[in-house]
Amino acid sequence: MPRAGLDPAAVVAAGAALADEVGLAGLTMGSLAERLGVRPPSLYKHVDGLEDLTRRIAVLALGEAAEAIGGAVQGYAGRDALEAAARAFRAFVLEHPGRYAATIGVEPSGPDDPLTTESRRALGAFTAVLRGYGIAESETDHALRMLRSLFHGFATLQVGGGFRWSADVDESFEWLIAFVDRGLRALGTPPSTAAPAAAP
Amino acid sequence: MPRAGLDPAAVVAAGAALADEVGLAGLTMGSLAERLGVRPPSLYKHVDGLEDLTRRIAVLALGEAAEAIGGAVQGYAGRDALEAAARAFRAFVLEHPGRYAATIGVEPSGPDDPLTTESRRALGAFTAVLRGYGIAESETDHALRMLRSLFHGFATLQVGGGFRWSADVDESFEWLIAFVDRGLRALGTPPSTAAPAAAP
DNA sequence: AGGTTTGGCTAATGGGAGTAGCTTTTAGCT
DNA sequence: AGCTAAAAGCTACTCCCATTAGCCAAACCT
C-alpha cells in the first residue's frame, strides 16, 4: 500500500484544521484518520494518542495567537495597542475555535514544556500593551489577569452562543475596549510622557 | 430486586454532585449509575440520556447561582453590591465546577425552556448591580456582557488552572473588583443622589 | 385480590480510544 | 545494484461508553 507521507506536524495541522471545522469534541482519531486517508491506528505512529494530539494543537494555537497578537501590536501604544491586541485575539478565537478550545485546560508539565514557552509568548503580547499604559510593576500581574479573563470570557461566551439577546456583539466588544482603556489610563502613568508631579 | 427509589430530581442532583467531584467529563452514565447503586440503563427511566442530564444539571446550577448571587446582593448598592455579586459568583463556580461547566454551551430550545428562565434570573442579579450605578439604558447590555465575560473568564481560567504564575489569585480578584467599580462609577449617574448639573 | 403502571434488570449494538503484531515501503549503506 | 533495518501502513483485537430492546418484579389503586 502506498504511503501517505505523514509526519507529526502534518497530523497536528490537519487535526487543528478539523477541530476548527467540527469543534474540538468532533475531533476523533477516526475522523482525523479519514480526513488524512489513513486508518486510525496509523496515527499513533506520529502522535501519542488523542491527548497528545490536542496538546500539540494547543502549542500550535498558542504560537499562532502569539504571532498574530504580537504582530498586531507592533508600533502601537496605549489605546491603539489595546485595540489591536483585543481585535487580533478575538479574530483568532472566532476563526479558530477548535484550536483555541484545545488550549483551555491543558497543563504544562514543566518549565521546558513547549506549552509553557508559547504561553509566555502569547502573554508577552498583552504585557507589552500594559507597558504602554505605565502600569505600576506591582499591578501588572493583576491587570494581565484582568485582560486575559475579559477577552477569554468574551470570546468563549461568544463562540459558545452565550450572547443571545438583543445588542450587537461587535458593538459590545468595542464598548468593552473603551471601558478597559479608560480604566487603564486612570491607573497608569505613561512612561515617556510628562511625569505627574515632576519638579517640587 | 428492591427499588432504589429514584426520580428525575434525585438523578439530576446526584449527577450534579458527581460532576462537581470528578469534573463534567468524568460524569458518565456508568459512574452515575454506580454512585446510585443501579445499572446504567435504569437511569434512562428518569432522564433522557447524557445530554438531557447535563441540560438539567445546567438548569439546576443556574437556579442555584441566581439564588446565591441574588441573595448576596440584597440590600446593597454600588460597590458593595458589585463585590457581593462577584464573590458569590466566584464562590459558586469554585465550589461547583462541574455544575457550572454544564451551563456552558447549552442552547435553550425556546422562550419557554426552563434554561431560558433560569438564565434570565441569574442575569437579573447582575442587572440589579448595574442599576445601582445608574448606567445609561443604552449601555446596560454592554456593561452586562462585560461583567459576565470578566467573571466567567476569571472563574473558568482559575478552575482550569490557568493562573499559574506568582501573584495571589484572591488578590487579583479583589483588584479586579476595584477596577470594575471605578470604571462603572465613572460611567454612571447614581439615580437617587444629587444630579450632576441640576439647575441651570 | 387483580390489573396496571413503573422502575429495575440482562443482553446486545455501535462507536471511539488504544494495543499487538504483521507487512511493505523506503532510505541508507556497502 | 542489492541488502538491511527502521518507519509507516494495515488488520484484528480489547475495553469502555451511550443507548436500545425486551423482560420481570414491585408498588399502587381500586
Q: State how far residue B105 is from chain A, nearest Cα, in angstroms.
A: 5
Nearest to A18 by CA among A52, A62, A53: A53
B102 has a pLDDT exceeding 80: yes
Nucleotides in chain D with any atom closer than 7 Å to protein CB: 7-12, 16-22, 25-27
Confidence of residue B1 (pLDDT cuts 50, 70, 90): low
Confidence of residue A190 (pLDDT cuts 50, 70, 90): low
Count residue pairs from A and B with Cβ separation < 8 A. Answer: 110
For residue A186, what is the enclosing H or E element?
Answer: helix A169-187
In chain B, residues with a C-beta closer than 8 Å to the C-beta of A160 are 104-105
Q: What gap in Å lies between CA A50 and CA B48, rounded to an integer? A: 29
> pLDDT digit string (tens) for B37-89?
999 999 999 999 999 999 999 999 999 999 999 999 999 999 999 999 999 99
Q: State how far residue B130 is from chain A, nearest Cα, in angstroms.
A: 14
**Any chain B CB within 8 A of the CB of A142?**
yes
Q: State how far residue A170 is from chain B, nearest Cα, in angstroms.
A: 10
Kindly identify which residue of chain B lies nearest to residue A109, measuring between CA atoms: B164
**Residue of B179, B182, B187 to mutate for A, most A C-beta atoms under 10 A:** B179
All three cell numbers of B190, joined, read 447614581
User: Is strand D in 7 Å reach of the CB of B105?
Assistant: no
What is B42-64 written as a DSSP string?
Answer: HHTTTSSSHHHHHHHHHHHHHHH
Q: Report how far Cα A169 is from the mean position of its chain's Cα atoms.
A: 19
B195 has a pLDDT exceeding 50: no
> pLDDT digit string (tens) for A144-176?
999 999 999 999 999 888 887 778 999 999 999
Distance A4 CA to D10 C1' (A): 13
Confidence of residue B196 (pLDDT cuts 50, 70, 90): very low
Looking at per-residue pLDDT, the higher value among A111 and B82 belongs to B82
Kindly identify which residue of chain B lies nearest to residue A179, measuring between CA atoms: B183
- B window 20-39: Cβ near strand C (< 7 A): 33, 38-39
**Any chain B CB within 8 A of the CB of A25?**
no
User: Please, what sign has the CA dihedral across residues B20, B54, A150, A105?
Assistant: positive
Q: What gap in Å lies between CA B167 and CA A91, rounded to an integer? A: 29
Q: What gap in Å lies between CA A164 and CA A98, rounded to an integer? A: 21
**Any chain A CB within 8 A of the CB of B165?**
yes
Helix axes B169-187, B137-159, angle to 10 degrees: 170
All three cell numbers of B184, joined, read 462603572
Burial of B130 (0-12, 13-18, 19+ CB in 10 A): buried
**Any chain B CB within 8 A of the CB of A166?**
yes
Average pLDDT over residues B16-36: 97
Residue B198 has a pLDDT of: 40
Q: What gap in Å lies between CA B8 and CA A149, rounded to an integer? A: 36
Phi/psi region, residue B181 (left: phi>0; alpha: psi -120 to 50; beta: rest), is alpha
